[in-house]
Amino acid sequence: MRTKTSANYPLILIVTVALLASACEQSPKSGRGLVLPEGDIEKGEQVFTSLYCNDCHRIAGRNDLNTVSEPQMTVTLGGGTSRVSTYGELVTSVINPSHRVSPRYDKPPFAEGGKSRMRVYNDVMTVAQLIDLTAFLQQTYQLEPIAGPSYMSYFPEDPNSP
């Protein structure tokens, strides 16, 4: 005997598949298919300093890149993270800094009214510089696993074991 709930499973499955398929639909504004060439990390570091990114940004563990002794603001990039920033997220952060402002930087002097105070470099930076800068930035992050909870042993220790 089928219950009313079990009779709805095929309908639920069809609706779920349809929703998932529609979510995969690509709009004209989709970033899917955008693949930029490999960047040069050393050239990216040169871009970082030549465009004065280091006036406001610090790279974790790279004090040699600091040029301003008392910056108006400091946004640290790189270092350990529990989440990988994708290539696309890094490119977006450079070309559209107000796309998503981190909650910890969504306040003066970093942002005002939800808008990043970072200068937009789209008319200054070449595509080659963007590619190299992104390669440089991406390699400054190190993925750190999230520490899980520690569990106590469920088995009593054997006093006779070495």
**DSSP one-letter string for 8-22:** THHHHHHHHHHHHHH
Both tokens assigned to 28 = 């004209």
Check residue 49 and give its pLDDT: 94
Residue 150 lies in a domain: no
Q: Which pLDDT tens digit goes with each residue over 55-94? A: 889 999 888 888 777 777 888 888 888 776 788 888 999 9
Provide the domain count of the chain. 1
The verdict on residue 19 lying in a domain is: no
pLDDT at 45: 97
Q: Which of 106, 93, 97 is nearest to 138 (CA)?
A: 93
The tens digit of pLDDT for each residue in 9-57 reads 566 656 665 555 555 556 777 677 777 899 999 999 999 999 999 988 9
Q: What is the CATH number of the domain that holds 60?
A: 1.10.760
Consecutive H or E run containing 77: strand 75-77
> Which domain covers residue 51, as residue numbers?
41-143
With respect to residue 81, please indicate whether it lies within any of the assigned structural domains: yes
